[in-house]
A and B are shown apart, each in its own frame.
Chain A
């Protein structure tokens, strides 16, 4: 043993020196790599925003377009008709309609599932259900789109004849299924982060399990739950494939989910899939629509952040 330690002791300073330079170089490399990655993603984001901004400005600079009409107009027909109209509201209306249908279903269902998972389900059941739900998040949205078109729409039309072949409700329901794992998984994480002492205190005061879940745990986890909700809303607003398959391609102002609508994302798909051959206003309009969508999701994120800060409860 001792004979083995002596040589290693004598060679130690040299080894330490060597490893010091090696380590320094390695540190530098790793730091450079990390900075590079960070800069790359920030640069990409900036480039996207800049392009979006420039093309949008170009769009509003065109003769056929006026900014006021764009933000107040209720007619959107860039491709057809004698006179082109660029009023964003029909597209916003379509987007909101689909999102509303989706959220009416996904938020309560997701939250209730999350409460059940964190407060009621036995650990064994939870260990199975939660991963299964998360698998749902891995399904490509085009699959949800086909599901909407081939299962949800026919079912809705079987229930009620008034549903159009392409309708907002069907797309909304598919988006709801898509958003469900986000809502459930994130809400459940927030609920489980509530300290045990708080629950036990409530139980100690004689509260039932339902009272503990609804009156203690849920309010305590509210910031996390709201963050989950906003994330789901942002996801639904930006969803593209489901709506362009199932919601249709007719931009109109309607609050009737049985009607065909066009969302902002579906319009962009339509333009970039070859419906605009020249680089005219209809082509650039998709950038303006994209910028509007971007501002909307940005606003959602900012509001989400504010709410989270305001409602945050810190437990020691």
Chain B
């Protein structure tokens, strides 16, 4: 998934930080919490260069483009896709930490 570039240069603490941000962003998306956008932006920065990075960059882009609290079909579909991207990123980040 994505294109790992500098995994080996990052610490376990970086991995744990990324896990926390992904998990927080995912539940914020589920709850349509306005914190979802900022959390995704932070997660995307924390994920730069990691296997989770591309998915998080896409999710953060979606959050910038759409009102994630809007319950209309289009924005709801976008929010669900952002959730799926968060799950992917969280899995990658957790796998990295568990394997370290």
Partners in one complex: no
